Amino acid sequence: MALEPDDLDALRDAVSTLENPGLAVQITNVLSRPVEYGLSILPRDVQQRISDTTDAALRAAVRLAASTMSNERGIRPSSRFHKAMATLSGAVGGAFGLPALAIELPVSTTLILRSVADIARGQGEDIRSIDTQLACIEVFAIGSQAPSDDASEMGYYATRAMLARSVTEAARYVAEKGLVEEGAPALVALLAKIAARFKIPVGAKFAAQSVPAIGAAGGAAINLVFINHFQDMARGHFTVRRLERKYGAAVIRDEYERLKLAADN
């Protein structure tokens, strides 16, 4: 099935964005080793606190991001508003250093995820559906690489495949019991995979905010860089999902891989 010209152009743009994540991931790659080393020499209780905070931020974000939004589809996303709020959140949290991380991280993560949900809605997604809400949280894993990943787990469709079973099990659980029982194995497994890729941005935030004298600027800068990144990933991700609904998943994946191969050559 041939794609309409506008849809082909949209998919080409999505391929370019999703397979070349840009500045945010370059910063992540540069920071990853020193941040991982810095975190590794922290006391165990502090490491656990950062890990728990990351998990709590993801859980809070997936519940709150869509709950405050209208479900009217096709509304133009308010990306600038979310950028401004996330940057402000990073600056305020950074001014108070590490002690503020447990408060600021759930706030900034929710703002970023709310922006992701806003973009999803603009692409015709039903943001009240479990499938869409889990697709929104998937964005935190797209365009990033966990230290344990190998070459086969890199790339957009590889990331989706890596998460697929956990997403399916989580969706089944949430459909039956809702998001109340956050300790359910299905949700824990999904959040663990997301958190493995999200931890480097969190580590970068920790590094920037650990010194209060420079924390405000660092926290604001990190939040701005990463909301830009996640907004880009969301636009690509939900463009692909919109086209999959229109043409079928297999057709779009084949065309995606063709465009990706053509861009590499």
Q: What is the pLDDT of residues 9-25, one digit of tens each?
A: 999 999 999 998 765 55
Cβ-based neighbours of 44, under 8 Å, separated by 6 or more:
none
Cβ-based neighbours of 94, under 8 Å, separated by 6 or more:
100, 104, 205, 208, 209, 212, 215, 216, 217, 218, 219, 220
- Domain edges within the chain: 22-234
Higher pLDDT, 68 or 130: 130
- Sign of the alpha-carbon dihedral angle for 33, 34, 36, 37: positive
Tell me the range of 44-48, 181-185, 196-200 where mean pLDDT is highest: 196-200
Looking at the chain, the whole-number percentage of residues with pLDDT higher than 90 is 23
For the chain, helix, strand, coil in percent to 5 are: 80, 0, 20
CA atoms of 165 and 171, how far apart (whole Å): 10
pTM of the model: 0.81
Give the DSSP H/E element, type plus range, for residue 75. none
Tell me the range of 4-8, 134-138, 177-181 where mean pLDDT is highest: 4-8
Cβ-defined contacts of 144-149 (< 8 Å, 24+) = 144/21, 144/25, 144/28, 144/197, 144/198, 144/200, 144/201, 145/25, 145/197, 146/196, 146/197, 146/199, 147/32, 147/36, 148/196
Which range has the worst mean pLDDT, 58-67, 111-120, 144-153, 165-174? 144-153
Q: What is the pLDDT of residues 70-105, one digit of tens each?
A: 556 555 666 677 777 767 676 666 666 666 777 777
Residue-averaged pLDDT of the chain: 77
Q: At what angle do helices 101-122 and 185-209 cross, to 10 degrees?
A: 120
Q: Does 4 score more than 80 pLDDT?
A: yes
Q: What is the pLDDT of residues 227-258, one digit of tens each?
A: 888 899 999 999 999 999 999 999 999 999 99
State how far Cα 48 lies from the chain centre.
21
CA atoms of 251 and 17, how far apart (whole Å): 19
Note the residue count of the chain. Answer: 265
Which range has the worst mean pLDDT, 135-149, 160-174, 176-190, 245-259? 176-190
Q: Which two tokens stand for residue 160?
A: 């989706």
pLDDT for 227: 83
Q: Does 214 score more than 80 pLDDT?
A: no
pLDDT for 193: 86
Q: Does 32 score more than 60 pLDDT?
A: no
Nearest to 108 by CA among 219, 243, 217, 259: 219
